[in-house]
């Protein structure tokens, strides 16, 4: 770009200036979207290297922090150039919207959940941290690792709630072949899925196919997390977004199965799916009697007391 004379400073004016400009020829039948992603990859790589070199604490560059525009310049045989068009790329983070009454009502519940050390509140915090890392900060490694932590927390809490209810409140155990308590707290997430969730909740828990919820979690979260930690892999923006989507699919699958079995595990369903979630799925009826005779805070206290009986196993996991 040609150098331009800097205008005289005028305190009444606000100037915008580009942070970076990337120019690259399109390759083959590359679409504009693919070309933009490749160009923006150059920005991410070089900006990340600059942050590492300077040890600055500002977040990595991401398209959500910018308002990236995309321009195609065509050049004919005589060297004449013209622009084919300009487009503003999407996925721009514009900051939070104004809180609604629904938001404040939910916030009150989260305040109570945090004060009572409800593990559901911690899971929501991890999930939001993962989304913030990916969509607002451009921290794709952190986003994937936080997504993996959110998935692990969710899988373990669902498995532990079901086992607590089955062994503490139900007689006989509706799924006696499920994993025993003495193996529960040291088990990996994949084992909990295979020997607790699938056994107690039924349904499709296949992990081989990416198109299925558990398969998507395995390929796009668990294996991606392992590649980062063990192989030094650096995830792309698409990898990070895919991991967040996989978490949402896993959550929906587990909560749907819990709701479907609310007649067998009403306590766990109320604590994890919630009254409103069960009503949306048309499955509050089987849990109604439990809801009317036991407060959720009483159930949470009982669950936390049961967990405290296994503190050493939980903390040594």
Give 261-292 pLDDT, tens digit per residue.
Answer: 999 999 999 999 999 999 999 999 999 999 99
Flag whether pLDDT at 4 surpasses 60. no
How far is residue 65's CA from residue 94's CA, in Å, rounded to a whole number? Answer: 8
pLDDT of res. 156: 96
In this structure, is residue 16 part of a structural domain?
no
User: Which pair of tokens denotes residue 232?
Assistant: 């030094």
Question: Cis bond leading into 172, ω under 30°?
Answer: yes
What the block records as the tokens of 238 is 């698409």
Same domain, 197 and 230: yes
Residue-level pLDDT at 3: 53
Write out the residue range of the structural domain in which residue 46 sits.
32-88
Q: Quick one: pLDDT at residue 74?
A: 81
- In this structure, is residue 15 part of a structural domain? no
In the predicted model, what is the mean pLDDT of residues 94-118?
82
Does 63 share its domain with 199?
no
Co-location of 56 and 148 in the same domain: no
Among 120, 170, 150, smallest CA distance to 273 is for 120
Give residues with Cβ within 8 angstroms of 85, minimum separation 6.
71, 72
Tokens 């936080």 sit at which residue? 146
Check residues 93 and 144 and name the one with the higher pLDDT. 144
Q: Are residues 69 and 189 located together in one domain of the fold?
A: no
SS3 of 232, please?
A: coil
Instruction: Kindly state whether residue 96 falls inside one of the protein's structural domains.
Output: no
Same domain, residue pair 59 and 184: no
**Tens of pLDDT along 139-187?**
999 999 999 999 999 999 999 999 999 999 999 999 999 999 999 999 9
Domain total for the chain? 2
What CA–CA distance (Å, rounded) separates 254 from 236? Answer: 27
Residue 95 belongs to a domain? no
Q: Say if CB 107 and CB 90 are below 8 A apart.
A: no
What is the C-alpha to C-alpha distance for residues 302 and 310, in angstroms, rounded to an integer? 13
Q: Both 268 and 172 in a single domain? A: yes
In a domain, 17, yes or no: no
- Residues 162, 255: one domain? yes
Same domain for 253 and 223?
Answer: yes
Q: Rounded to whole angstroms, how far apart are CA atoms 16 and 22? A: 17
User: Helices (DSSP H) in the chain: which residue ranges?
Assistant: 32-54, 101-115, 119-135, 140-168, 181-184, 189-192, 198-201, 213-217, 223-231, 237-260, 266-272, 274-280, 288-293, 296-308, 311-315
């Amino acid at each position: 770009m040609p150098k331009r004379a800097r205008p005289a400073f005028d305190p009444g004016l606000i100037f915008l200036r580009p942070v970076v400009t990337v120019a690259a020829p399109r390759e083959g039948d590359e679409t504009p979207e693919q070309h933009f992603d490749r160009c923006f990859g150059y920005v991410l790589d070089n900006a990340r290297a600059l942050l590492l070199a300077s040890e600055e604490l500002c977040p990595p560059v991401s398209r959500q922090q910018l308002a990236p525009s995309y321009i195609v310049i065509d050049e004919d045989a005589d060297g004449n150039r013209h622009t084919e068009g300009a487009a503003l790329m999407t996925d721009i983070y514009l900051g939070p919207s104004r809180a609604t009454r629904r938001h404040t009502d939910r916030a009150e519940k989260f305040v109570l959940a945090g004060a009572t050390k409800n593990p559901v509140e911690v899971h929501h915090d991890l999930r939001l941290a993962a989304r913030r890392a990916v969509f607002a900060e451009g921290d794709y490694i952190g986003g994937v690792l936080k997504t993996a932590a959110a998935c692990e927390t969710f899988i373990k809490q669902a498995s532990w709630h079901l086992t607590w209810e089955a062994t503490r409140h139900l007689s006989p155990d509706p799924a006696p072949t499920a994993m025993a308590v003495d193996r529960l707290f040291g088990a990996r997430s994949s084992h909990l899925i295979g020997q607790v969730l699938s056994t107690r909740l039924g349904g499709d828990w296949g992990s081989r196919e990416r198109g299925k919820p558990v398969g998507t979690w395995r390929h796009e979260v668990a294996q991606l997390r392992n590649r980062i930690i063990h192989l030094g892999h650096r995830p792309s923006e698409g990898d990070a977004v895919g991991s967040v989507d996989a978490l949402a699919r896993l959550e929906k699958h587990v909560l749907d199965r819990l709701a479907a079995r609310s007649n067998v595990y009403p306590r766990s369903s109320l604590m994890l799916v919630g009254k409103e979630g069960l009503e949306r799925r048309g499955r509050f009826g089987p849990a109604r009697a439990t809801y009317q005779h036991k407060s959720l805070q009483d159930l949470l206290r009982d669950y936390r007391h049961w967990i405290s009986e296994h503190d050493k196993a939980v903390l040594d996991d």
